[in-house]
Amino acid sequence: MPQMTDERVRARLREEDLSLLHEVSMKTAGVSHLEMCIQCGTCGGSCPSAMDMEHTPRMLFAMLRAGMRDEVLRSNTPWLCVSCYHCVVRCPQEVHIADVMYTLKSMAIQAKLYSDSTAPHFSQTFVDMVETFGRSFEFGLASRHYLRHFPLRLPGMLPMGFGMITKGRMAITPKKIKHMDQLKSILKRASQLELTS
Amino acid sequence: MNKYILYPGCSMESSGKAYGESINTILEPLDLHFEEIDDWNCCGATEYLGINLIPAYSLIARNLALASKQMNGTRTVVAPCSACYLNLAKADYYMQERPSLGVKVNEALEAGGLSYVPGTLDVRHLIDVLVHDVGVDAIQKAVVRPLHGLKVAPYMGCMLPRPDYQHRWTDHEHPTELDDLLRALGADVIDYPLTTECCGGHMTQIGPETAFELIMRLVADADERGAHLMATVCPMCQMNIDAYQNEMNHFFKTDYHMPILFFTQLMGLAFGKEPGEVGIGTELVSARNALAHIGIEVPVTHEPAAPRKKDEGLPMPRRWTKQEGKEAVK
């Protein structure tokens, strides 16, 4: 057993530290029920992308309870969540698992603790487009994202992109909402707020 | 006339254009009237929630606030896209479940001169309105060209029947609403157990191998069960299964050809509309052969040119042979 773990266990014996679990639960929209996890593993067993995850959701929640902040935020698990909500409807404790995953993503971005930047960059690019135009802009998003992360996929994607454009399914110029200034001031104010209670 | 407030969502104007077009063709036969939310914005899809919580919910709530100003005899917002529907419904529900979220979101909305009282609106998906308000019987009465003999795999996707905050569906994993609706159109609905499995969502963009695996399962199962095509209720599912099927085939060295249409396109056809009117021909995996099974002919539009063979090289001006030159002079 590595020294560090040993010391952490001793610390746990002195005073159970559930601050990480509470922090995540608090930052999650709705009432997360995260504290109620009974480690049954239904979530991992229901997950369509569990095969590619470093930790199943069950493991991740145990790690939160154990205060393993770095390991949790570095895990690829939240980034592989496809938001299919299979686990959410099957969880006997009604934990808002998908929403906890969203919280973990935002915490990992804030702490800059992710191992693969593809997913965070994609989310950020999407959000940039929305914050600029008020609407999603698929052509801008796809071209920027693929050039940055999948340049080798581009040649194979060309027929698809060409088909989407010629069939009128992808505009090469963005659409903008009328009251962009209103949306910008809402988002600016929102970014200064945090969910604390 | 039944009035509803419409939140179209971004894809209705781009990748899911056929969905928007076909919805417009079914409103009149069913006596529905949709009024679009004025100056609506993107719902943030599955991306914004993972970046920053309060801005993400404020983005969604701006639409709810705008819609609540347009309540003119109705409090129901209809969203045809499953992701938009879930985001709007989720924001409304969570602001009630956790009042402090509602307070913060309203603080942000105030900066734009807006406000929203959680619970004011009723957020529903298009198929929910069609099956539960209009009713399967009324839909069946509007059918003039039954789709007899068309084998359809009903694909509900995941974000519609789950998490189901308002308990609207017969089941979270095997709901039968889409089956009932397609059957009312006369279609031959096949048994499709994967109906609420995931299409990969945004994984086609960030982890294609995970996504291809999921797309493969859905397409292979529909194919094995003899479906001519799949019917979907979500632009994201349509995009993933249609536009990425070719790349998925390359990846697994398979040769599937499984068209996927929006359920409203099939409704339009059954209501007697022409394929062009309901956006058929915009799918990348062509539904022409599938629809030929029931005698519906899809006119040929711009087919992309067949790829050149490698040894052909670049297209060059053809050289005239001496013989041809002589003939030309004559």
Q: Give the domain CATH number at B272.
A: 3.40.50.11810
Distance of CA B256 to the CA centre of its chain: 21
User: Tokens representing A20?
Assistant: 């990480």
Q: What pLDDT, on the 0 to 100 scale, is given for residue B304?
A: 54
Residue B298 placed within a domain: no
The helix-helix angle for B82-97 and B235-243 (nearest 10°) equals 140
B222: confidence class by pLDDT, cuts 50, 70, 90: very high
Distance of CA B303 to the CA centre of its chain: 23
Instruction: Looking at the structure, tell me whether residues B210 and B284 fall in a common domain.
Output: yes
Phi, psi of A138 (to 5 degrees): -65, -40
SS3 state of residue B122: strand
Residues of chain A with Cβ-Cβ distance to B7 below 8 Å are none
Q: Which domain holds residue B38?
A: 2-125
The helix-helix angle for A57-65 and A97-110 (nearest 10°) equals 60
Comparing CB atoms, the residue among B47, B164, B203 nearest residue A127 is B47
Residues of chain A with Cβ-Cβ distance to B48 below 8 Å are 123, 126-127, 130
A168, B101: Cβ pair inside 8 Å?
Answer: no
B203, A162: Cβ pair inside 8 Å?
Answer: no
B317: confidence class by pLDDT, cuts 50, 70, 90: low
Nearest partner of B218 among B169, B260, B159, B263, judged by Cα: B260
What CATH number corresponds to the domain at position B35? Answer: 1.20.1050.140
Mutation to test the A interface, candidates B41, B165, B169, most A Cβ within 10 Å: B41
pLDDT tens digit sequence for A56-113? 999 999 999 988 999 999 999 999 999 999 999 999 999 999 999 999 999 999 999 9
Can you say whether residue B116 is alpha, beta or left, with left for phi > 0 and alpha for psi between -120 and 50 degrees?
A: beta
The letter for the amino acid at B6 is L
* B159 CB burial (10 A radius; 0-12, 13-18, 19+): buried
Residue B210 placed within a domain: yes
Distances (CA, A) of A102 to A106, B224, B289: 6, 36, 42
Residue A5 placed within a domain: no
Residue A105 placed within a domain: yes
Checking if the pLDDT of B328 tops 90, the result is: no
Closest chain B residue to A51 measured between Cα atoms? B210
Say how many domains are in chain A: 2
Q: Which domain holds residue A56?
A: 13-110
Nearest chain A CA: its distance from B162 CA (Å): 6
What CATH number corresponds to the domain at position A42? Answer: 1.10.1060.10
Instruction: Looking at the structure, tell me whether residues A24 and A97 fall in a common domain.
Output: yes
Instruction: Looking at the structure, tell me whether residues A95 and A39 fall in a common domain.
Output: yes
Q: What pLDDT, on the 0 to 100 scale, is given for residue A155?
A: 86
The side-by-side arrangement of strands in the sheet containing B76-79 is: B32-36, B2-6, B76-79, B122-125
Using the 8-state DSSP alphabet, how is residue B49 labeled?
Answer: G
Using the 8-state DSSP alphabet, how is residue A52 labeled?
Answer: G
Residue A197 placed within a domain: no
- The residues with which B48 forms a beta bridge, in sequence order, are none
Residue B274 placed within a domain: yes
Checking if the pLDDT of B301 tops 50, the result is: yes
Comparing CB atoms, the residue among A102, A170, A193 nearest residue B108 is A193
Nearest partner of B25 among B306, B302, B276, B287, judged by Cα: B276
Comparing CB atoms, the residue among B97, B162, B250 nearest residue A31 is B97
B247, A157: Cβ pair inside 8 Å?
Answer: yes
Pick the last residue of a domain from A59, A89, A110: A110
Instruction: Looking at the structure, tell me whether residues B75 and B207 fall in a common domain.
Output: no
A135, B205: Cβ pair inside 8 Å?
Answer: no
Q: What pLDDT, on the 0 to 100 scale, is given for residue A156?
A: 83
B42, A136: Cβ pair inside 8 Å?
Answer: yes
Pick the last residue of a domain from B125, B153, B183: B125
Residue A196 placed within a domain: no
Instruction: Looking at the structure, tell me whether residues B283 and B167 fall in a common domain.
Output: yes
B309: Cβ–Cβ under 8 A, 6 or more apart, which residues? none
Residue A31 placed within a domain: yes
Place of tokens 């599955």: B46
B98, A29: Cβ pair inside 8 Å?
Answer: yes
Helix %, strand %, coil % of chain B (to 5)? 45, 10, 45
Label residues B32-55 b or e (16+ Cβ within 10 Å = b).
bebeebeebbbbbbbbbbbbbbbb
Residue B299 placed within a domain: no
Instruction: Looking at the structure, tell me whether residues A135 and A100 fall in a common domain.
Output: no
Comparing CB atoms, the residue among A80, A187, A197 nearest residue B100 is A197
Closest chain B residue to A49 measured between Cα atoms? B210
Instruction: Looking at the structure, tell me whether residues B181 and B115 fall in a common domain.
Output: no
Nearest partner of B160 among B43, B82, B45, judged by Cα: B82
Pick the last residue of a domain from A80, A110, A140: A110
A169, B113: Cβ pair inside 8 Å?
Answer: no
Instruction: Looking at the structure, tell me whether residues A129 and A97 fall in a common domain.
Output: no
Residue A8 placed within a domain: no
What is the C-alpha separation between A112 and A104, in angstroms, rounded? Answer: 12
Instruction: Looking at the structure, tell me whether residues B117 and B225 fall in a common domain.
Output: no
SS3 state of residue B197: coil
Instruction: Looking at the structure, tell me whether residues A126 and A67 fall in a common domain.
Output: no
Torsion B241-B243-B244-B250 (CA) sign: positive
B207, A134: Cβ pair inside 8 Å?
Answer: no
Instruction: Looking at the structure, tell me whether residues B117 and B194 fall in a common domain.
Output: no
A168, B113: Cβ pair inside 8 Å?
Answer: no
Instruction: Looking at the structure, tell me whether residues A98 and A140 fall in a common domain.
Output: no
Using 70 as the pLDDT threshold, list the residues of chain A that sit under it.
Answer: 1-5, 8-16
Residue A175 placed within a domain: yes
Using the 8-state DSSP alphabet, how is residue B78 labeled?
Answer: E
Instruction: Looking at the structure, tell me whether residues B153 and B276 fall in a common domain.
Output: yes
Checking if the pLDDT of B244 tops 90, the result is: yes
Nearest chain B CA: its distance from A174 CA (Å): 10
Residue B41 placed within a domain: yes
Instruction: Looking at the structure, tell me whether residues B165 and B274 fall in a common domain.
Output: yes
The verdict on whether omega for the bond into residue B163 sits within 30 degrees of 0, i.e. cis, is yes
B44, A145: Cβ pair inside 8 Å?
Answer: no
Residue B135 placed within a domain: no
What is the C-alpha separation between B107 and B111, in angstroms, rounded? Answer: 7
Q: What pLDDT, on the 0 to 100 scale, is given for residue A1?
A: 47
CB distance B207 to B196 below 8 Å: no
Instruction: Looking at the structure, tell me whether residues A101 and A146 fall in a common domain.
Output: no
Mean pLDDT over residues B72-93, rounded? 96
How many secondary structure helices (H) and strands (E) does chain B include?
14, 8
